[in-house]
Structures are given as C-alpha cells and as structure tokens.
C-alpha cells in the first residue's frame, strides 16, 4: 500500500459495473490500487470498463452474469474463492427502476423482478461472500440506495420499497458483524446523478445540471479510506452542479 495506491493488494467487487455509478466506482477503486471484479449482464460494456481500467494501469476481471438468475451468484463466489482468499470491498450497486406508478397499479410480475434484483440478489451476494469478507483485515460493504428508500414518494412505491428493504437488510448485517470490528456497512444515497436510470425517471431533466457518476465514485472511495463508522446512511452531495454566474 502506498499513498497514491491506498487500496493496493485489495480485492473489490462492484455490481452494475457496466455503466453509471458502478462503472465510475470500479474505475476509482482500480485507480486506487484495488483489483476489481466487474459484474453486470452485458459483457461488451464490461469489457469497455475493463479496458479503461487496464489502460489507466489498473487491474480488473469481468464477470458477465444476471444477478437475478438462480445459481449465478453462488458460482461467482465459488470462482472468486478459488482465486482469492479475501474480499475487501463489496459494492451493491445493480438495481432495476421499474415503472413509476400508483401502488394499486403496480404489476406483480415486474414488482417481483424489482425485489429479486434490488433485494434478494443483494442478500444472496452478502451470503455468498460473507466468509471472504470476514477473512479481510478490514472489509467494507456499500449498499447504493435512494432517497425514496427512507422518504416515500408518490408513484415510487415499487422501487422505493425495494430500497427500504435493502437498507434494512444491509444495516442489519452491519449490526450483526459489528462485534468483530473488522467489517463496516455503508448505505449510500447518491442523490441526483447523471445516470441512465435518472434519465428514465426524469426524462425532461437537463443532465448537464446534474453531477456525473465520478463525483459519487470519489465520495465512495473517500468513505472507504476514512475512519467512518459502520451502520451509517450517508448522502453524496452536491446533487446538482453549480452553474457559472451569468450562465
């Protein structure tokens, strides 16, 4: 470990790493010296992120898979355990927005898919990588949430309830592991960020007014390198960029 590579020798896994906050976070962790396992469904997009990491002098391994598919997470954990002893950083970022609709109009099948990816898959990731996390000298789990996970909003019931469940699940895990003093859990509300999901949710919004994913990634990295306690819900700010005077 060096000052310019504070995560040298450490292993990180980032889900939803093909674009947006996931890709930016993976690149930030790799730039800090971590070997990053990139997880998402689209192999080509993952390869592009991996190439950027390698071109910048970092190290990454791609793992194209659908987190909502049966045994995929268990297979990923088994493959990782064969190559590495411990996992130092787990970023639970992959999520599905779904339709924004009144609660009484939520489609049951779509809601099941939202809960599967946003909640069930994250529990499965924690369970599958628990032993590798516990073998780390200092491990961190970052659960990327949303303001609607703690502040209910009209038409956001499906997505919001899934994030509320994720927050509860992650913080419960943090409470359960606090006694050992080796594993921290962070729940992150990234705030309004220039991502594809944000564009889907707010199609009339000007993306140039929003902070880029790299700002959130930098916040996550600084959080990991700090002495911040476990079990906190934090928000990455600012949500919007300041426009120059007169613009």
pLDDT of residue 3: 76
Positive or negative torsion for Cα 5, 64, 131, 128:
positive
**144 lies in some domain:** yes
**162 lies in some domain:** yes
Burial of 182 (0-12, 13-18, 19+ CB in 10 A): middle
Torsion of CA 60, 31, 34, 119, to 10 degrees: -80
pLDDT at 21 over 50: yes
**205 lies in some domain:** no
> 188 pLDDT band (50/70/90 cuts)?
very high
Over residues 222-247, the pLDDT tens digits come to 999 999 999 999 998 765 554 443 33
- Domain holding 26: CATH number? 3.40.50.720
- One-character DSSP codes across 126-190: HHHHHHHHHTSSSEEEEEE--GGGTS--TT-HHHHHHHHHHHHHHHHHHHHHGGGSSEEEEEEE-
pLDDT of residue 237: 74
Give me the mean pLDDT over the 157-166 stretch.
Answer: 98
**159 lies in some domain:** yes
pLDDT of residue 2: 73
Catalytic residue among 111, 159, 173, 179: 159
**6 lies in some domain:** no
pLDDT of residue 88: 98
Q: Which domain holds residue 103?
A: 11-189+217-235
Q: How, if at all, do strands 35-40 and 11-15 pair? A: parallel
pLDDT of residue 70: 81
Over residues 95-139, the pLDDT tens digits come to 999 999 999 999 999 999 999 999 999 999 999 999 999 999 999
Q: Is 173 a catalytic residue?
A: no
pTM of the full predicted structure? Answer: 0.94
> Which H or E run contains 39?
strand 35-40
**139 lies in some domain:** yes
pLDDT of residue 242: 47
Locate all alpha helices (DSSP H) within the chain, ordered by sequence: 20-31, 43-55, 72-83, 108-115, 121-134, 157-177, 196-201, 213-225
**1 lies in some domain:** no
Q: State how far the Cα of 117 lies from the Cα of 123, in Å rounded to an integer.
A: 10
**105 lies in some domain:** yes
The label of the residue with tokens 């707010």 reads 202
> 166 pLDDT band (50/70/90 cuts)?
very high
User: How many domains does one find in the chain?
Assistant: 1
């Amino acid at each position: 470990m060096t000052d310019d590579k504070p995560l040298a020798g450490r292993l990180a896994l980032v889900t939803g790493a093909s674009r947006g906050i996931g890709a930016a976070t993976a690149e930030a962790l790799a730039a800090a010296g971590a070997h990053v396992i990139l997880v998402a469904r689209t192999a080509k997009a993952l390869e592009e992120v991996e190439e950027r990491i390698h071109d910048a002098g970092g190290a990454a391994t791609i793992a194209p898979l659908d987190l909502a598919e049966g045994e995929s997470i268990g297979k990923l954990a088994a493959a990782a355990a064969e190559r590495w002893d411990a996992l130092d950083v787990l970023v639970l970022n992959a999520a599905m927005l779904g339709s924004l609709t009144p609660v009484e109009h939520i489609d049951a099948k779509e809601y099941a898919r939202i809960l599967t990816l946003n909640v069930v898959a994250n529990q499965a990731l924690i369970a599958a990588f628990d032993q590798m996390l516990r073998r780390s000298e200092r491990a961190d789990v970052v659960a990327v949430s949303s303001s609607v996970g703690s502040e209910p909003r009209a038409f956001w019931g499906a997505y919001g309830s899934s994030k509320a469940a994720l927050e509860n699940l992650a913080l419960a895990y943090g409470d359960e592991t606090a006694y050992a003093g080796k594993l921290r859990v962070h729940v992150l509300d990234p705030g309004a960020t220039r991502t594809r999901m944000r564009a889907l949710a707010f199609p009339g919004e000007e993306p140039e007014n929003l902070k880029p994913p790299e700002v959130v990634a930098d916040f996550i990295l600084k959080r990991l390198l700090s002495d911040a306690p476990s079990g906190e819900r934090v928000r990455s700010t600012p949500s919007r960029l300041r426009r120059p005077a007169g613009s």
